[in-house]
Amino acid sequence: MSQTPLSYKDAGVDIVAGDALVERIKPLAKKTMREGVLAGIGGFGALFEVPKRYKEPVLVSGTDGVGTKLKLAFEWNMHDTVGIDLVAMSVNDVLVQGAEPLFFLDYFACGKLDVDTAAAVVGGIAKGCELSGCALIGGETAEMPGMYPAGEYDLAGFAVGAVEKSKILTGQNVKAGDVVLGLASSGVHSNGFSLVRKCIERAGDQAPTTLDGKPFKQALMEPTRLYVLNVLAALAKHPSTENASGIKALAHITGGGLLENIPRVLPEGLAAHLQKGSWPQTELFAWLQATAGIDDTEMNRTFNNGIGMVVVVDAAEADSCAATLRAAGEQVYRIGVIAPQGSGEQVVVR
């Protein structure tokens, strides 16, 4: 007895939809092209030549996802900015070593491919790359029936940057007396959303309609700020070398907040003493703290709490460095100083 032939589409994988997505992606990726790209979207592998202006280039890589923030994207049908989050989480990490992001690759996985949704997500990825000066050089779209619930997907991103060997930021020359500057975040960024979602659930119909002048949903989904171009410009103007004591360390404030990320760039025996109230608490973070009923310590450990990037700079250049960053469009706060650690924690907020 003959059986009806089964196609790949019958099994749940639509090759035609995948091809349509690639065609939608190509012009988005083209906008991100930069020096060094030899071959990008479409090949089995993407080719990139490290720019010849580097004398001793060291490659710096980073990878991350968006996390449970995606759950809100599914629920609220807001897919156009999570791609920016994906890029930001990796390129901001690469930046911390003083590196310029060169190129980015993405991985988009779903149960059934919706071309419009996927194109919106990749459009955000391309926008994030464009705003960071790095090329969207390749990626992978995986349609896997049965692996994900209808309407859901997952994202992963991979960034590679380069820095001159002599200019790598290690934080090893940080010393007592150095100043800690905080660059304002654009919101929750892309960590702490398991607690954010609990707060939304707890608030129910009592959730505010606006926060910080934005509609409630937009305020929570505001994408992670891309610090790359402004901080790279500040690094060029305020370098930390044998002859100049400028920016000595950077810390991207993600999971673990201020309390766990700043120590990652401090030498042993030193601590960051942060002054409570030296940066404003936004309505968004005030609402999260009140709704969750957590103390300041937990806020500074769970969320960025208003500071998305920390800059440790020599005291002599702190004011001029802050002015450089402000002129570029960053909101900058002088939030603390570096001091001997003693027997206490590596981050103290008082």
Q: Report pLDDT digits (tens) over 7-37.
A: 767 667 777 887 888 888 888 888 899 999 9
Of 50, 32, 29, the closest CA to residue 41 belongs to: 29
Q: CB-side exposure of 58: number of CA atoms within 13 Å?
A: 13
Alpha carbon distance 204, 118 (integer Å): 30
Query: What is the pLDDT at residue 210?
Result: 97
How high is the pLDDT of residue 10? 65
Question: Which residue intervals of the chain are DSSP H helices?
Answer: 15-30, 69-76, 82-95, 115-132, 193-203, 216-221, 228-237, 257-261, 283-292, 296-302, 318-328
Domain with CATH 3.30.1330.10 in the chain: 15-167
List, edge to edge, every strand of the sheet that includes 135-143. Answer: 57-65, 153-164, 100-110, 135-143
Q: At the topology level of CATH, where does 15-167 sit?
A: 60s Ribosomal Protein L30; Chain: A; (3.30.1330)
What is d(CA 143, CA 119) in angstroms, rounded to the nearest whole number? 14
193, 71 Cβ separation under 8 angstroms:
yes
Q: What is the mean pLDDT of the chain?
A: 93
Query: How many Cβ atoms from other residues are within 10 Å of residue 46's Cβ?
Result: 18
Structure tokens at 234: 């500040």
CA dihedral 301, 177, 314, 305 (to 10 degrees): 20
Q: What percent of the chain has pLDDT over 90?
A: 81
pLDDT at 97: 97
Work out the average pLDDT over 264-277. 95
**Span 120-135, average pLDDT:** 96
Q: Which range has the worst mean pLDDT, 1-5, 20-24, 122-126, 325-329?
A: 1-5
d(CA 252, CA 245): 21
Q: What is the pLDDT of residue 3?
A: 75
Higher-pLDDT residue of 11, 175? 175
- How confident is the model at residue 30, as a pLDDT? 86
Write out the DSSP string of 248-273.
EEEEE--TTHHHHHGGGGS-TTEEEE
Q: What are phi and psi of 132, to 5 degrees?
A: -105, -5
Least confident of 36-50, 51-65, 86-100: 36-50
Q: Rounded to whole angstroms, how far apart are CA atoms 309 and 332?
A: 10
| Residue 346 β-bridge partners | none
* Residue-level pLDDT at 6: 66
Residue 1 pLDDT more than 60? no
Closest CA to 250 of 228, 269, 270: 228
User: Which tokens sit at 260?
Assistant: 């766990």
What is the percent of the chain with per-residue pLDDT over 70, rounded to a whole number?
97
What integer pLDDT is reported at residue 165 of this predicted model?
95
| Residue 73 to residue 52: CA distance in whole angstroms | 41
Give me the mean pLDDT over the 269-284 stretch.
96
What one-letter code names the amino acid at 54?
A: Y
Tell me if residue 60 falls in helix, strand or coil: strand
- What's residue 173's pLDDT? 92
Alpha carbons 164 and 232: distance in angstroms, whole number: 13
Mean pLDDT of 139-156: 93
The token pair that represents 175 in the structure block:
């010393």
Q: State the pLDDT at residue 243.
A: 57
Q: What is the pLDDT at residue 2?
A: 65
Q: Is 305 left (phi over 0), alpha (psi -120 to 50) or beta?
A: left
Task: Name the CATH topology of 179-349.
Answer: Phosphoribosyl-aminoimidazole Synthetase; Chain A, domain 2 (3.90.650)
Please enumerate in sequence order all residues whose Cβ is within 8 A of that of 217, keeping only pairs 6 or more positions apart, or say none.
72, 76, 78
In this structure, which amino acid lies at residue 97? Q
Q: Note the pLDDT of residue 20.
A: 86
- Of the two residues 15 and 243, the one the predictor is more confident about is 15
Residue 17's pLDDT is: 82
